[in-house]
Amino acid sequence: HGTGLLVDTVVDEVAGACGRYGGTVRRVPADVPATAPSPVGPAGGPRRHVPATAPSPPGDLLLALRDAAALPAWARRLTAGADGPLGDEGFLLAGSGDRTLLLADAPAGLLYGLFHLVRLGRAAFDARPVECHRPALARRMLDHWDNVDVHPVTGQVERGYAGGSIFWRDGAARGDLARVREYGRLLAACGVNAVAVNNVNVHASGARLLTERLGDVAAIADTLRPYGVRVHLSVTFAAPVVLGGLPNADPLDAAVRAWWAAAARRVYDRIPDFGGYVVKADSEGQPGPFTYGRDHADGANLLAATLAPFGGVVHWRAFVYDHRQDWRDRSTDRARAAFDHFTPLDGRFRDNVILQVKHGPMDFQVREPVSPVLAAMPATRLAVEVQVTQEYTGQQRHVCYLGPWWSEILGFAPWGPQGPTVADVAAGTASTRDPRSGAGGGRSATAGGGLVGVSNVGDDPFWTGHPLAQANLYAFGRLAWDPGLDPVAVLDEWIRLTFPPATTGDPGLVRRTLHAVLDGSWWTYERYTAPLGVGFMVRPGHHYGPDVDGYEYTPWGTYHFADRDGVGVDRTRATGTGFTGQYPRPWSERYEDLHGCPDELLLFFHHVPYGHVLRSGRTVIQHIYDTHFAGVEQVEAMRGQWRRLAGLVDPALYARVSERLDEQRRCAAEWRDQVNSYFLRKSGVPDEHGRRIW
């Protein structure tokens, strides 16, 4: 579907780029008569020859689909021996120094290859041996938590910090498809190939996107298709009741099945390449199969069966826990919930169900261990969900470049350093083992579910509210394409693509300054917020700014248990909730061991006295004081660095970032003072350096 469109997109993009430099584009259409049939071409008809008379001066760049054109001799020489399949999205790049060749098996590969050339800039024309690029993860998706109506509590975009939705406004489609098209281009340039266009919390008008408002979704799909982006919908499990008027939504009820089957047929009539559904069921008040005494596999499989004939998938979210917990109940541990709910269902999901697992067991905190679910469901397709929108990491008012955090998550090896990583699990290439026994197994995992991010984009002129938060969008796509990339190198790409070098003075200043501001900004944010992996301590509801006890006596299951003697959550098997036992070895042992547990996660796994000495050699209380003072100093340093760019970057952008850095400085100081004062008052232990604590 839409492959011709993709080729048109590539041609337009190339023409646009060449036009800027006075170059020209010559398109050799597929209907040029073949002068000779291909002896070796892939199935799909004879190859077309690029006419021998086609001029091919030095500096030429040839973009070709392998089965659409037989290559000229110079290109055949360059790629001799490189016959392996490139897949639907891969591409091959080779260059003699005079001429450059970009080859793909499918149009999407040409598109991604083209954006790769743009990243390379001038170096695209250097001599290079054959390079093959294929995405590590087939599914690279952004979920928009966009409401169709303005929700009275969560607004137009739930956890959105970049203005309104680019798709919806006040209960209707915005109709600004030009902006949506620009978005498609932005996504393709980052490597993203799927979006869900509405909130996982499906409210009344969001629900109707599946039925009477399907035309709006089809218009978005038509607009994103030329950039290789497939559209998905969040649906409510209660749809047969709320939209179909049926008495129940029991997944085993024949009328319910028939309703979903008819819904899927209607969707695919309008959107032949529709991606599928995203479902938040039995989670934070959303309806689900529990109402009918059924489990999540029953629910997910019902929907998956109706999408399977059309090639669609169900992204079923694993974010299921008791959000009405009694805080006095010390036996219930929210961190355990996803594992306890889902691992007994391993092997029961259809192969077009993707279980979408938040990267950590809690909820997108600045620091959490990797979710043990990712190591415990070898017979299920798993997707890793991260939050590009910065709900808990400064809400796009603070600079917080999340590339290093995601890179750490994707590189985490749940079975130990020799074993597969989280990225392998998401790619479906992890060989499986039973995490409970730690024993090696042999079976290959099913296809992976990929990487999913909660989008950080809105109708803000800078797309992301904070202009520097664009780096997170870019890094998300790039790490989904290749989780092994160095996040600082990815940032460097983004800087070079976004900020032209200064024409006067020091040409490297902009780039160096942006690195100085962004490279370590995740650690800086961690320093001045909740310490040592304990999480939360944010204002309930909107989640911005400090409130140390804000969640302490609530039903949400997010506690730090600070008292006069110590702080942290005992999740050990020996004396706590037993959560450490959900990990395979070696992590089940390391996290259990007070002295083996990494410092940055200590309070996630252990309740310790304030005088407990960290692996760093500092006590917990002194670590809290030191990091909070240091965090604010680092934000002040960022502000100073940024000021050097006055007059060197776009003035509107400069002003926006400056204003946000002022707010970050204010908020960081508030965090420092509240956290430090709280712990001084609880513990009575003074700061070794006698700094001011309130």
Neighbours of 293 (CB within 10 A): 9
Residue showing tokens 């990225």: 423
Q: Which of 363, 424, 592, 626 is catalytic?
A: 363
Q: Which of 83, 284, 326, 434 is catalytic?
A: 284
In the shown chain, the binding pattern of residues 291 to 330 toward ligand GCU, with x for contact by CB under 6 A and - for none, equals ----------------------------x-----------
Burial label, 348 (beta-carbon count in 10 A; 0-12, 13-18, 19+) = middle
Is 116 or 358 the residue whose CB approaches ligand GCU more closely?
A: 358
Q: In this structure, are strands 439-444 and 450-454 parallel, antiparallel, or unpaired?
A: unpaired
CB 93 within 8 A of CB 113: yes
Identify residues 211-270 at the interface with ligand GCU (CB under 6 A).
none
CB 141 within 8 A of CB 196: yes
Size of interface with ligand GCU, in residues (CB under 6 A): 9
Out of 295, 363, 424, 570, the residue judged to bind ligand GCU by CB under 6 A: 363
- Contacts of 48-52 with C-beta under 8 Å, sequence gap 24+, read none
Is 230 or 280 the residue whose CB approaches ligand GCU more closely?
A: 280
| 575 Cα distance to chain centroid | 35
Is 200 or 427 the residue whose CB approaches ligand GCU more closely?
A: 200
Listed residue (206, 225, 226) closest to 216, CA to CA: 206
The minimum distance between CB 319 and ligand GCU, in angstroms, equals: 5
The minimum distance between CB 45 and ligand GCU, in angstroms, equals: 47
Q: Which of 89, 368, 391, 626 is catalytic?
A: 391
Out of 280, 294, 359, 672, the residue judged to bind ligand GCU by CB under 6 A: 280
Is 201 or 676 the residue whose CB approaches ligand GCU more closely?
A: 201
Q: Give the 3-state DSSP-derived string for 19-69, with helices as H, strands as E and coil as C.
A: HHCCCCCCCCCCCCCCCCCCCCCCCCCCCCECCCCCCCCCCCEEEEECCCC
Kindly state the helix (H) or strand (E) to which residue 101 belongs, with its residue range. Answer: strand 100-104
391 catalytic? Reply is yes
What does the alpha-carbon distance between residue 445 and residue 143 come to, in Å, rounded to a whole number?
A: 25
Is 280 or 478 the residue whose CB approaches ligand GCU more closely?
A: 280
| 46 Cα distance to chain centroid | 40
Listed residue (459, 454, 456) closest to 167, CA to CA: 459
| 469 Cα distance to chain centroid | 13
The minimum distance between CB 432 and ligand GCU, in angstroms, equals: 27
Three-state DSSP state, 135: coil
Is 199 or 472 the residue whose CB approaches ligand GCU more closely?
A: 199
Is 147 or 627 the residue whose CB approaches ligand GCU more closely?
A: 147
What does the alpha-carbon distance between residue 346 and residue 620 come to, in Å, rounded to a whole number?
A: 39
The minimum distance between CB 281 and ligand GCU, in angstroms, equals: 11
Is cis: bond before 361, omega within 30 of 0?
Answer: no
Identify residues 134-193 at the interface with ligand GCU (CB under 6 A).
158-159
Contact residues for 234 (Cβ-Cβ < 8 A; gap 6+): 143, 196, 198, 199, 200, 202, 206, 277, 278, 279, 280
Three-state DSSP state, 505: coil
The minimum distance between CB 388 and ligand GCU, in angstroms, equals: 13
The minimum distance between CB 144 and ligand GCU, in angstroms, equals: 12
The minimum distance between CB 284 and ligand GCU, in angstroms, equals: 6
CA angle 674, 680, 683 (to 5 degrees): 135
The minimum distance between CB 105 and ligand GCU, in angstroms, equals: 37
Q: Hey, what are 164's tokens?
A: 């309104």
Out of 7, 94, 200, 632, the residue judged to bind ligand GCU by CB under 6 A: 200
Is 319 or 605 the residue whose CB approaches ligand GCU more closely?
A: 319
Three-state DSSP state, 394: coil
* Residue 592 lies near ligand GCU (rule: CB under 6 A): no
Neighbours of 457 (CB within 10 A): 27
The minimum distance between CB 468 and ligand GCU, in angstroms, equals: 23
Identify residues 367-406 at the interface with ligand GCU (CB under 6 A).
391
Listed residue (627, 638, 641) closest to 671, CA to CA: 627
Identify residues 72-131 at the interface with ligand GCU (CB under 6 A).
none
Is 95 or 546 the residue whose CB approaches ligand GCU more closely?
A: 546
284 catalytic? Reply is yes
Q: What is the set of active-site residues?
A: 284, 363, 391
Binding site for ligand GCU (CB under 6 A): 158-159, 200-201, 280, 284, 319, 363, 391
